[in-house]
C-alpha cells in the first residue's frame, strides 16, 4: 500500500488558499480514480482505492498544517508502511506557479507541514512540490499562502491538478521521474512540425 498525503488546513475558510494546493491534488486524484467515500480516521479524512495495480490510501490531515505529522504517523503505524511508501503533496514557494517537481527527503524550507512530518516520521518521505510562486518579500509569505488563489490562477491550476490525477498511477508504481515528465508534457505539449508542401 502507498499513502498519498495532501497538506492543507481544514475548514471552509482555507479551502481555496494557496497553502491548500496539497488538499486539491489529492481531491483531484480521488475524483479521477473512483476512490471510496471519504471517512474520518487518523485525525484526518481518508479514502481507499487503487492507482493502477497499487492499493492506495489518500489522507487529508484535519489537524492544522503545523500538526500534519501526527495524522501521517498514525496511518503509517496502522498500515505498517515506511516513509518510502509515503508521498506528500505540498505548496512550494520556490517554484513558479504551475511548476511541479518530485524529490525524496531533504529540508523543510520553513514549511510548517513538512516540519511536522519530519518531526514525526523523519525527513525521507517522497514529495511532490507544487509551485505557487513567491510574493517577493519573506515578510509577505504568511499572508500570501493563506490567501485564496486568484481567478486568473485557474488557467494553470486546473490543468495542473488534472495532469497530476491522470498520471498518479506512475507515482504509485514508484516512477516519480516518469510522473514528473508526463505531467510536464501534458501541460507543455510539443509543437507539431508544420507539414512540408511542394511548390
Structural domain contains residue 198:
no
Structural domain contains residue 119:
yes
The pLDDT assigned to 193 comes to 63
The pLDDT assigned to 190 comes to 83
The pLDDT assigned to 191 comes to 78
Residue ranges of the chain whose pLDDT lies below 70: 193-199
The pLDDT assigned to 198 comes to 58
Structural domain contains residue 195:
no
Exactly one of 19, 90, 111, 167 is catalytic; name it.
19
The pLDDT assigned to 107 comes to 83
Is the Cβ–Cβ distance between 98 and 50 less than 8 Å? no
Is residue 19 annotated as part of the catalytic site, yes or no? yes
CATH number of the domain residue 116 falls in:
3.40.50.1470
The pLDDT assigned to 195 comes to 64
Structural domain contains residue 112:
yes
The pLDDT assigned to 36 comes to 97
- What cell was used for 57? 490510501
Structural domain contains residue 132:
yes
Structural domain contains residue 95:
yes
Structural domain contains residue 180:
yes
The pLDDT assigned to 64 comes to 87
How many domains are contained in the chain? 1
Structural domain contains residue 197:
no
Structural domain including 16 reads: 2-187
Amino acid at each position: 500500500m502507498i499513502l498519498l498525503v495532501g497538506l492543507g488546513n481544514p475548514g471552509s475558510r482555507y479551502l481555496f488558499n494557496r497553502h491548500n494546493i496539497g488538499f486539491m491534488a489529492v481531491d483531484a486524484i480521488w475524483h479521477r480514480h473512483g476512490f471510496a467515500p471519504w471517512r474520518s480516521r487518523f485525525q484526518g479524512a481518508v479514502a481507499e482505492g487503487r492507482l493502477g495495480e497499487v492499493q492506495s490510501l489518500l489522507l487529508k490531515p484535519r489537524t492544522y498544517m503545523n500538526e500534519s505529522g501526527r495524522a501521517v504517523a498514525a496511518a503509517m503505524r496502522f498500515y505498517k508502511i515506511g516513509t518510502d511508501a509515503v508521498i506528500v503533496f505540498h505548496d512550494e514557494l520556490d517554484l513558479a506557479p504551475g511548476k511541479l517537481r518530485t524529490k525524496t527527503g531533504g529540508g523543510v524550507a520553513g514549511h510548517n507541514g513538512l516540519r511536522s512530518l519530519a518531526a514525526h516520521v523523519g525527513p525521507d518521505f517522497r514529495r511532490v512540490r507544487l509551485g505557487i510562486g513567491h510574493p517577493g518579500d519573506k515578510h509577505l509569505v504568511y499572508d500570501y499562502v493563506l490567501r485564496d488563489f486568484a481567478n486568473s490562477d485557474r488557467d494553470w491550476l486546473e490543468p495542473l491538478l488534472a495532469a497530476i490525477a491522470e498520471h498518479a498511477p506512475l507515482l504509485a508504481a514508484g516512477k516519480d521521474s516518469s510522473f514528473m515528465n508526463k505531467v510536464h508534457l501534458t501541460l507543455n505539449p510539443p509543437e507539431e512540425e508544420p507539414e512540408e508542401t511542394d511548390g
